[in-house]
Amino acid sequence: MISSPSNNGFSQQLDAIRQRIAVIRDRVLSQSNLSLSSEIHEEFQSALNVLESAQTVIQQAETSLDVAQLRASVREKEILLREIHHRVKNNLQVVSSLLDLQAMRTQDPTVQTILRNNQSRIRSIALVHERLSQSSQITRINLGEYIQSLTAILVRIYAIEPNRITFRTEIQGEIELSSNRAVPVGLILNELVSNALKHGLAGEFGEITVSLRITDAQITLIVSDSGERFPTDLDLMSPRSLGFQLINSLVQQIDGILTVSRIPNTMIAVRFSANDLQES
């Protein structure tokens, strides 16, 4: 009897099948002996078993090939997606540079402020794509690292003088977010820092602190400043300023909660779930 074929002895066993079938053929032709029927049955059954095992080996090889092809396809798509993120980042940086040039060409403080605000918003989005193009995970970014990088960019965009305003970041815990949630979080941070600079510390010495922590699957982003206290008559649900209208809209996108504390310093907090929201 012929044993089931292995990868190494597959061709040898197939050759043995052919040889045995040839012997059986010759014996059947030379004599008509009924005692051969049992032997013929066993030999053919053995041949069928070998062929069945061979078929299994072939199917496994095809499956392995399919898996290899799928992995190669995934790698190609990852490379393509990284390239897309990289190109989007580059395009957004071009737009940011154009806004910067326009801001330097105008002498109108109001226009400069508008251009700088939009420049910082675009840079916060561009930074997400930059992080994704460099991250080992092409769909998620480390929120703490992103916030530290973004605050450094905001310091440059708003030309914050280190001898006048101290900028601090406090990051607690490892937090990762999908890109579709990191973008609104970055824009929220941009608006809160911009608000602290324009209103809380307008022309004054002071400190701005950005803190991020996670507790019981809840992420809390806090921006506080040591400047003038937040207006007591500001209605967070129906704000008049464009900045807080945008903040409210972005907080709703991440299903978060916005709160303000005025004692001892102005502190604005955004709390939202660490778990990714289900897309509808």
Residues 58 and 165 in one domain: no
Give yes or no for a contact between 159 and 100, defined as CB atoms under 8 angstroms apart.
Answer: no
Using pLDDT thresholds of 50, 70 and 90, give the confidence band for residue 72.
confident
pLDDT, tens digit, for every residue of 111-130? Answer: 888 888 888 888 888 888 88
Question: What pLDDT shows up at residue 6?
Answer: 47
Give yes or no for a contact between 186 and 253, defined as CB atoms under 8 angstroms apart.
Answer: no
Higher local confidence (pLDDT), 75 or 277: 75
Give yes or no for a contact between 211 and 243, defined as CB atoms under 8 angstroms apart.
Answer: no
Q: Give the number of other Cβ atoms within 10 Å of residue 129's Cβ.
A: 23
Question: What pLDDT shows up at residue 40?
Answer: 61
Cα–Cα separations (whole angstroms), residue 57 to 4, 13, 182, 265? 10, 14, 47, 72
Residue 55, in any domain of the structure? yes
Q: Give the number of other Cβ atoms within 10 Å of residue 4's Cβ.
A: 13
Residues 172 and 278 in one domain: yes
Residue 82, in any domain of the structure? no
Residue 219, in any domain of the structure? yes
Structure tokens at 188: 């929220």
pLDDT, tens digit, for every residue of 203-244? Answer: 677 888 899 998 888 899 999 888 766 666 666 666 677 778
Give the β-pairing of 206-215 and 176-178: unpaired
Chain center to CA of 265: 35
Residue 274, in any domain of the structure? yes
Residue 58, in any domain of the structure? yes
In the listed set 43, 66, 89, which residue is the last one of a domain according to the structure? 66
Residue 104, in any domain of the structure? no
In the listed set 66, 81, 112, which residue is the last one of a domain according to the structure? 66
Give ∠ CA 213-178-142 in degrees, rounded to 5. 45
Residues 57 and 166 in one domain: no
Using pLDDT thresholds of 50, 70 and 90, give the confidence band for residue 3.
very low
Contacts of 118 (CB under 8 A, 6+ apart): 99
Question: What pLDDT shows up at residue 220?
Answer: 92
DSSP per residue over 201-261, as a string? TTTS-EEEEEEEEEETTEEEEEEEESSSPPPTT--TTS-SSHHHHHHHHHHHHTT-EEEEE
pLDDT, tens digit, for every residue of 144-164? Answer: 888 888 888 888 887 777 788
- Number of folded domains that form the chain: 2
Q: What is the CATH number of the domain that holds 234?
A: 3.30.565.10
Residue 225, in any domain of the structure? yes
Domain containing 208 equals 161-280
Residue 211, in any domain of the structure? yes
Least confident of 147-151, 179-183, 202-206, 274-278: 274-278
Residue identified by tokens 């999908």 is: 178
